[in-house]
Amino acid sequence: MGAITSIIFGTIFQNLLGRKLRKSYESPEQEDAFKFKFKRDWLLIIIFDGICLGFWMVLGSGLVILGFGVIPAFGFSFLLIKSTAFFMWSQINKVFLQLQEGGSEALKLD
């Protein structure tokens, strides 16, 4: 269930992120064109949390199968997933800022 949840929410997240990027390129002069605002992009944040929920279920279930208790397994999984999610969200913001400053050429690795 967790893997299916992550795949479904991941597909939705990809589509929403692509739509936001297209809108940002269409009107780059807007103040929040390449930035994420909680009040405006709340759907994107909820979908991202859905991906995290799916990964949490997969990781926690895997640890339970390996013999850990339910509470320690899902507690450790929660801490690991939330810290990873924070890192990923900050990286997504940095990529969007790079796109704003230098366009898609800013992301090319030479």
More confident call, 77 vs 93:
77
Q: For the chain, what's the residue count?
A: 110
Share of the chain above pLDDT 90, in %: 42
Which amino acid would we find at residue 25?
A: Y
Scan for tokens 């997933």, then name that residue.
Answer: 81
Q: Read off the pLDDT of each residue in 21-33 and give the average, rounded to a whole number.
A: 68
Whether the pLDDT of residue 51 is over 80: the answer is: yes
Decide which of 31 and 76 is more confident: 76
User: pTM for the full model?
Assistant: 0.76
* Angle between helices 70-102 and 2-26 in degrees, nearest 10: 20
